[in-house]
């Protein structure tokens, strides 16, 4: 188990440095800048609205096969822990918001998702490839960036999330 945890963070560290930065990217250790998040039903939030509790941000697109593959595990993670120990949100980079909404409905995703068709959030978070999952502490500091599709609700990843956020997650 410990070896898997180390591999998870070793792969995260490599992925964070192996890809070119995006314009305006907030690096690991930096703080998210304030940004308006545009919901699919017309609602808006700001990153500051999520302060006070750790945040998992998944950047995805409906046309991205790996994004589609990991969405179920993110949904299970959000249902189990979301809103209690941390929040989970998604940011779609689709140009076509209707395609993103169709995928959200088809996949029965219930955690909140926002649309970033202008690539502002994509660039700020460093999504040079999809999917990208960003772990942010309760104060808005970026702790980890994990590229690629993963089983986010697996025991190994739940343990790694807990260690990253310095919280005990019940099994």
Instruction: Please list the ranges in the chain whose pLDDT falls under 50.
Output: 1-6, 10, 13-17
pLDDT on residue 164: 97
Give 159's strand partners.
none
93: nearest Cα among 123, 72, 69, 70? 123
Distances in Å between the Cα of 169 and the Cα atoms of 42, 46, 86, 104, 112 are: 33, 26, 10, 27, 21
pLDDT value of position 170: 87
Residue 149 makes CB contacts below 8 A (sequence gap 6+) with: 66, 67, 69, 70, 131
CATH architecture of 2-165: 3-Layer(aba) Sandwich (3.40)
| pLDDT at residue 171, rounded to an integer | 77
């Amino acid at each position: 188990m410990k070896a898997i945890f180390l591999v998870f963070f070793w792969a995260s560290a490599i992925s964070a440095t192996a890809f070119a930065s995006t314009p305006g990217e907030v690096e690991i250790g930096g703080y998210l800048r304030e940004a308006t998040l545009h919901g699919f039903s017309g609602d808006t939030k700001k990153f500051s609205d999520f302060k006070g509790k750790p945040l998992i941000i998944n950047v995805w697109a409906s046309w991205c096969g790996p994004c589609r593959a990991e969405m179920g595990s993110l949904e299970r993670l959000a249902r189990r822990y979301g809103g209690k120990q941390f929040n989970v949100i998604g940011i779609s980079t689709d140009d076509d918001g209707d395609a993103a909404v169709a995928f959200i409905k088809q996949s029965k995703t219930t955690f909140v998702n926002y649309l970033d068709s202008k690539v502002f959030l994509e660039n700020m978070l460093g999504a040079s490839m999809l999917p990208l999952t960003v772990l942010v502490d309760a104060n808005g500091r970026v702790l980890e960036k994990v590229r690629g599709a993963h089983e986010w609700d697996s025991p190994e990843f739940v343990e790694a999330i807990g260690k990253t956020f310095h919280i005990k997650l019940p099994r």
